[in-house]
Chains A and B, each alone.
Chain A
Amino acid sequence: MKKLGKQTYEMANPVTISYAHALVGSKEKNGPLSKYFKDYFEDDTFGEKSFEKAERKMLKTAISDMLLANKINIDDIDLYIGGDILNQLVSSNFVAEELQIPFVGVYSACSSVTESLALASTLIDGGFCNRILCSACSHFSAAERQYRFPLEFGNQRQAYSQWTVTGAGCMIVDKKESQNCPKIKRVCFGKVVDYGVLDLANMGAAMAPAAADTIMEFFKDTKTQPSDYDLIATGDLGKLGSDIFRDILAQNSIVIENNYIDCGHMIFNGNQECMQGGSGAGCSAVVFSAYIYQKMKQKKLKKVLLLATGALMSTTTNQQGDAIPAVSHLIELEA
């Protein structure tokens, strides 16, 4: 592995994402990506007594389904790296306790999926691990009660707000060469940026500068440009955030053409009342696992940049008058 420029790391050996699996809730299943989401559950409590328990069960089910379907022995996995958006990372922590393998919990809000994949690939390329399990998840109802209001409380959502995705995505990262599976080629760890956005509902505006900052550093470090990639996917900027992201890049003379998508923007329909689109750690995790990963396996996409974006918000600091810091970690994939 070598470091390029300030923030980017290039893998010396092939680091492959051998498997990826997604499990989503019914609202996501009814969205535009329906045919890609094969596994879903109808009841948002997943048969549990609380939404926190439901999120945990969803994550556990996603991981065990992936291990079972591909006949992977849990003892062959060296490390589990995962994150979610609940306080104390309860979902990942509780699932890690059940899995009984070494665990590194990561928090970068909705950027957890690329943070864990980036850390996994550096650990593997550094020769420390052979096989790592990564995951990220979120649950609408659990996030709502932690960050906003009770579910049955009657209020109107702002036109620029987003909807937390109910879903869990998990991946297995391996040290091996594979013809069929996408490889992680380079990773770029983002800086935390704060542009003074105070409004907890406007996460797209808080996160767009972070994504722009990371991708610009990446282009500088690797001397590449947007047209070198088949697809550039941001995590959960939503419609508004994506527009701001494009605007910031345009101001810096970087033009992104039609090879750009935002996972949050594409996961819901306009008539699902999700305003600007999806958000949450599960958003980019499930869109990557179920859609981008599969397209790469079918060789429909060759070179992809995935930038999950995290609004590192805390209701406590926000009430004390602090803005929402944001971060975005990038991974470059090659089929």
Chain B
Amino acid sequence: MNKSQRNQDYLMYVEKQSPKSPWLSSLFRAFIMGGTICCFGQMIGDVIKSFFPTMDLLTVGAWVNISVIALTIILTAFGIFDVLAKYGGAGTFIPISGFANSIASCAIEYKKEGLVFGVGAKMFYVAGPVIVNGVSYSMLVGIIYFIISLF
């Protein structure tokens, strides 16, 4: 038997043997955690609106984002966020909390290598691909939108 056939058979066997993550309970927990974070954001928005009734929705939204980011960073610094994320999975990662955590955790981790080559260089080690993709796809959408608007 040649090596590539052997490896292919082996990987199929491994796939069958390897335990799967429990998807139904994972989905449920992600739903609960993600929903809780979003409800929390909505609550902050409502509180801000009740204090400043004249504030426009965009500004309220910005304050909500800032609050969730700040809280995530504080929870990350105290070592609580990763415990929540272990429970919530994508529920904590997909909202802006996941993005904030990925930057804050890198900043904490790489502080030991100094401010320039540690924090400075590696802060976006996890978040970097998200930003690059975000910018690239919005450019693509922008170009498509521009072409459509010509007609």
Are B7 and A153 neighbours in the complex by a CB distance under 8 Å? Answer: no
Decide yes or no: A159 and B10 within 8 Å by CB, A154-B93, A154-B98 being known contacts.
Answer: no
* 0/1 interface trace, chain A 128-170, chain B, CB 8 Å (1 if under): 0000000000000000010001111111111110000000000
> In whole Å, how far is A76's beta carbon from the nearest beta carbon of chain B?
37
Complex CA distance for A158 and B81, rounded to whole angstroms: 18
Complex CA distance for A240 and B98, rounded to whole angstroms: 31
Residues 57-109 of B contacting A (Cβ, < 8 Å): 76-77, 79, 81-82, 84-86, 89, 92-93, 98, 101-102, 104-106, 108-109
Report which of B10, B14, B86 forms a contact with A154, defined as CB distance below 8 A.
B86
Are A151 and B105 neighbours in the complex by a CB distance under 8 Å? Answer: yes
Q: Does B54 belong to the interface (CB within 8 Å)?
A: no
Give the size category of A's interface with B.
Answer: 20 to 34
* 0/1 interface trace, chain B 8-20, chain A, CB 8 Å (1 if under): 1011011001111
Question: What residues on A are CB-neighbors of B11 within 8 Å?
Answer: 195-197
Decide yes or no: A152 and B14 within 8 Å by CB, A159-B21, A195-B6, A195-B7 being known contacts.
Answer: no
Sample of 15 further A-B pairs with CB below 8 A, known A154-B84, A195-B7, A240-B18? A150-B106, A152-B79, A152-B105, A153-B106, A154-B92, A154-B101, A155-B86, A155-B93, A156-B86, A157-B86, A202-B14, A202-B18, A205-B17, A243-B17, A273-B86
Number of A-B contacts (CB under 8 A): 93
Complex CA distance for A150 and B6, rounded to whole angstroms: 36
Complex CA distance for A247 and B84, rounded to whole angstroms: 37
What are 26 contact pairs spanning A and B, CB under 8 A? A49-B112, A149-B105, A150-B108, A150-B109, A150-B110, A150-B125, A150-B126, A151-B109, A152-B81, A152-B82, A154-B82, A154-B86, A155-B85, A156-B26, A157-B86, A158-B21, A159-B19, A159-B20, A195-B7, A195-B11, A196-B10, A196-B11, A209-B10, A243-B17, A244-B13, A244-B17
Residues 4-53 of B contacting A (Cβ, < 8 Å): 4, 6-8, 10-11, 13-14, 17-22, 26
Q: How many residues of chain B are within 8 Å of chain A by beta carbon?
A: 38
Complex CA distance for A323 and B92, rounded to whole angstroms: 31
Complex CA distance for A247 and B101, rounded to whole angstroms: 41
Are B105 and A153 neighbours in the complex by a CB distance under 8 Å? Answer: yes
Q: Which residue of A lies closest to B101 (CB)?
A: A154
> In whole Å, how far is B7's beta carbon from the nearest beta carbon of chain A?
3
Are B14 and A50 neighbours in the complex by a CB distance under 8 Å? Answer: no
> In whole Å, how far is B99's beta carbon from the nearest beta carbon of chain A?
11
Are A156 and B126 neighbours in the complex by a CB distance under 8 Å? Answer: no
> In whole Å, how far is A203's beta carbon from the nearest beta carbon of chain B?
12
Residues 29-56 of A contacting B (Cβ, < 8 Å): 49-50
Complex CA distance for A192 and B113, rounded to whole angstroms: 34
Give the one of A50, A145, A196, A323 with max B CB within 10 A: A196
Residues 184-218 of A contacting B (Cβ, < 8 Å): 194-197, 202, 205, 209
> In whole Å, how far is B109's beta carbon from the nearest beta carbon of chain A?
3
Q: Which residue of B lies closest to A243 (CB)?
A: B17
Are A153 and B126 neighbours in the complex by a CB distance under 8 Å? Answer: yes
Question: What residues on A are CB-neighbors of B17 within 8 Å?
Answer: 205, 240, 243-244, 247
Are B106 and A195 neighbours in the complex by a CB distance under 8 Å? Answer: no
> In whole Å, how far is B11's beta carbon from the nearest beta carbon of chain A?
6
Report which of B7, B21, B105, B110 forms a contact with A156, defined as CB distance below 8 A.
B21
* 0/1 interface trace, chain A 236-249, chain B, CB 8 Å (1 if under): 00001001100100
Question: What residues on B are CB-neighbors of A197 within 8 Å?
Answer: 10-11, 14
In order of increasing CB-CB distance, the 3 nearest A-B pairs are: A154-B85, A196-B7, A150-B109
Complex CA distance for A59 and B115, rounded to whole angstroms: 28
Q: Which residue of B lies closest to A244 (CB)?
A: B17
Complex CA distance for A196 and B6, rounded to whole angstroms: 9
Question: What residues on B are CB-neighbors of A323 within 8 Å?
Answer: 7
Question: What residues on A are CB-neighbors of B6 within 8 Å?
Answer: 195
Q: Which residue of A lies closest to B7 (CB)?
A: A196
Are B19 and A160 neighbours in the complex by a CB distance under 8 Å? Answer: yes
Report which of B10, B18, B108 forms a contact with A195, defined as CB distance below 8 A.
B10
Are A145 and B93 neighbours in the complex by a CB distance under 8 Å? Answer: no
Complex CA distance for A197 and B79, rounded to whole angstroms: 33
Question: What residues on B are CB-neighbors of A145 within 8 Å?
Answer: 109
Complex CA distance for A202 and B18, rounded to whole angstroms: 9
